[in-house]
Amino acid sequence: MKRSRLLFNPFVTGTLLLTFTGVLSRIIGFFYRIFLSRTIGAEGLGIYQLIFPILTLCISLTAAGIQTAISKFVSEERGKCNGCSGLRYLYSGLFLSLSLSVLVMTFLLRRSDLLADTILQEMRCSALLRIMAYSLPFTAIHSCINGYYYGLKKTAVPSFSQLLEQSIRVGAVYMLYLIAKEQGLSISPSAAVWGLVCGDIAATLYSLTALTLHKKSARRSARDSRKPLPYNTAKHPLRPLKQLGLYCIPLTANRVTINLFSSIEAILIPAQLQLFGYNNSDALSVFGILTGMAMPMILFPNVLTSSVSVLLLPTISEAQSDCNRKLIVRAIKKTVEYCMILGLFSTLIFLLTGDYIGQLVFKNTLAGTFITTLSWICPFSNLATTLASILNGLGKAAHAFGINLLGSLIRILFVLIFVPVYGIRSYLYGMLISQLFIAAAAILTILYLNKHGLCKQ
């Protein structure tokens, strides 16, 4: 009886749906990387990967924090049965996110040459940045709508939106590849960026369609119940906009800071490799092999720990609110235990098959070397993901933010100091030390909190 109730629990079924579509999207993305590595080559993949720090930073600035804020306030209004108020938070978030995304898009279109030359230090990225800019308003729209549905605890629309985005992205690039092949041409990294734009457009159209149907259903229900709007939202239409703005400022600041440091790290790698002695083409090729081939393979098992993290945060938060210290301690112990088992198993698999994967899958010896070397970070990267979720669940988001920021600084120092002298292998060791530090710091922080009372906010 308990099992059947658990399966029909909207939170559990929603999480399972997100997990399933997340795994499926990751699998599609994995084969997509293999396809790109064979069609645009290691150097082209490096150029393509080089724009992602800018893209991630733009999304952090224009959409990510606002999506979380929408989810929070819609969830609160849902608890009060104020469906119309939830839509007002969505509209306010859309206004904020779209305004910011249009500003950032305009900046990218006008200053792409400057960004490519001075920051990315690769002028061939200029055209890619201009294409990428068109995806930002669409990303803003479907991110806000996803946040609205997360607040309603309805994960079907965000799940299928994610899967559709990935499928259309891959399908669009494959069609461009077939057209180019028929004409005796080869595709360039710009085709992959156009695929990204097409995926965002498809996800936005789907999300808008789902939202339109949902609004019609909500209006029908409201008309049948004839329930008046709450006084505070009916009389003060700007209140949701003000609440969203104030709430998302620190969220956005944290995300932008973390992604800014990650962007600096990624952008510095090709430049520092040139100081080591590589020419520009070889540096971009090595960067593309690392970030476009080896890292997606190494991080593939993290799909499982990411799903665990989704369940951990509300579980820990609920246990803390009930002062259930035993449940918190048991969850932490089980998390560390299972993450270490999964991580060590992943390390063993990659150690034994890394070279084989590089040769067979990517047809690249260096990719195999990277996979074998990076295999040691698996236990620590798994721990870092789940322990950060535990800290957030305990209300210690600032601690998680500080630990991740220090981990990023460690990697940047390795890029600046050791890569020009010892090459890319020193960066791999820097990643290992960084992940080890993040996992150890998180465990020590949790032990300290345990000693001084886990139920204290």
Give dist(CA 402, CA 397) in Å, integer.
9
Same domain, 344 and 233: no
User: Exposed (0-12), middle (13-18) or buried (19+): which is 226, by Cβ within 10 Å?
Assistant: exposed
Same domain, 108 and 220: yes
pLDDT for 381 beyond 60: yes
Give dist(CA 297, CA 315) in Å, integer.
30
Same domain, 306 and 229: no
Tell me if 274 is assigned to some domain.
no
> Looking at residues 150-164, what average pLDDT do you find?
82
Report residue 98's pLDDT band, with 50, 70 and 90 as the boundaries: very high
Specify the pLDDT at position 84.
Answer: 56
Specify the pLDDT at position 1.
Answer: 43
Same domain, 56 and 146: yes
Report residue 202's pLDDT band, with 50, 70 and 90 as the boundaries: very high
Structure tokens at 419: 């890569």
Tell me if 264 is assigned to some domain.
no
Same domain, 431 and 338: yes
Element spanning 144, H or E = helix 135-151
> Looking at residues 61-85, what average pLDDT do you find?
72
CA distances from 47 to 74, 98, 318, 363 (A): 40, 28, 45, 19
- Tell which wins on pLDDT, 138 or 9: 138
> Looking at residues 205-234, what average pLDDT do you find?
68
- pLDDT tens-place string over residues 6-38: 444 555 565 567 667 777 887 888 788 888 888
User: Whole-model pTM?
Assistant: 0.74
- Yes or no: say if 394 and 316 are a contact pair by the CB < 8 Å rule: yes
Specify the pLDDT at position 226.
Answer: 54
- Tell which wins on pLDDT, 219 or 407: 407
Same domain, 230 and 131: yes
- Out of 249, 267, 290, a domain closes at 249
Q: CB-based contacts of 360: which residues, under 8 Å, 6+ apart?
A: none
Specify the pLDDT at position 7.
Answer: 44
Count of domains forming the chain: 2
Same domain, 199 and 348: no
Same domain, 354 and 240: no
Tell me if 133 is assigned to some domain.
yes
> Looking at residues 341-350, what average pLDDT do you find?
88
Structure tokens at 414: 């390795």
Report residue 147's pLDDT band, with 50, 70 and 90 as the boundaries: confident
Report residue 68's pLDDT band, with 50, 70 and 90 as the boundaries: confident
DSSP letter at 377 equals G
Residue 168's domain comprises: 10-249
pLDDT for 225 beyond 60: no
Specify the pLDDT at position 19.
Answer: 67
Among the ranges given (41-55, 81-95, 365-379), the one the predictor scored with the smallest mean pLDDT: 81-95
- Yes or no: say if 359 and 368 are a contact pair by the CB < 8 Å rule: yes
Tell me if 277 is assigned to some domain.
no
> Looking at residues 237-245, what average pLDDT do you find?
76
- Yes or no: say if 336 and 383 are a contact pair by the CB < 8 Å rule: yes
Half-sphere exposure in the Cβ direction for 445 (13 Å, CA): 24
Specify the pLDDT at position 261.
Answer: 85
List, in sequence order, the alpha helices (H) in 226-364: 231-235, 239-276, 280-289, 295-298, 302-321, 325-360
Same domain, 39 and 140: yes
Average pLDDT, rounded, for the chain: 81
**Positive or negative, the Cα torsion across 101, 102, 103, 108?**
positive
- Out of 190, 224, 249, a domain closes at 249
Tell me if 106 is assigned to some domain.
yes
> Looking at residues 210-230, what average pLDDT do you find?
66
Give dist(CA 245, CA 243) in Å, integer.
5
- Tell which wins on pLDDT, 149 or 194: 194
Specify the pLDDT at position 455.
Answer: 60
Give the number of residues written for the chain.
457
- Out of 234, 249, 264, a domain closes at 249
Same domain, 231 and 97: yes
> Looking at residues 418-443, what average pLDDT do you find?
91
Same domain, 308 and 381: yes
Q: CA 271, 275, 276: angle at the middle one, nearest 5? A: 115
Report residue 318's pLDDT band, with 50, 70 and 90 as the boundaries: low
Specify the pLDDT at position 138.
Answer: 95
Report residue 230's pLDDT band, with 50, 70 and 90 as the boundaries: very low
Tell me if 333 is assigned to some domain.
yes
Specify the pLDDT at position 155.
Answer: 75
Tell me if 259 is assigned to some domain.
no
- Yes or no: say if 272 and 120 are a contact pair by the CB < 8 Å rule: no
Same domain, 18 and 144: yes
Tell me if 114 is assigned to some domain.
yes
Specify the pLDDT at position 319.
Answer: 61
Structure tokens at 243: 């609440």
Report residue 141's pLDDT band, with 50, 70 and 90 as the boundaries: very high
Q: CA 118, 122, 126: angle at the middle one, nearest 5? A: 85
- pLDDT tens-place string over residues 264-308: 888 888 889 999 988 888 888 888 888 878 888 888 777 666 656
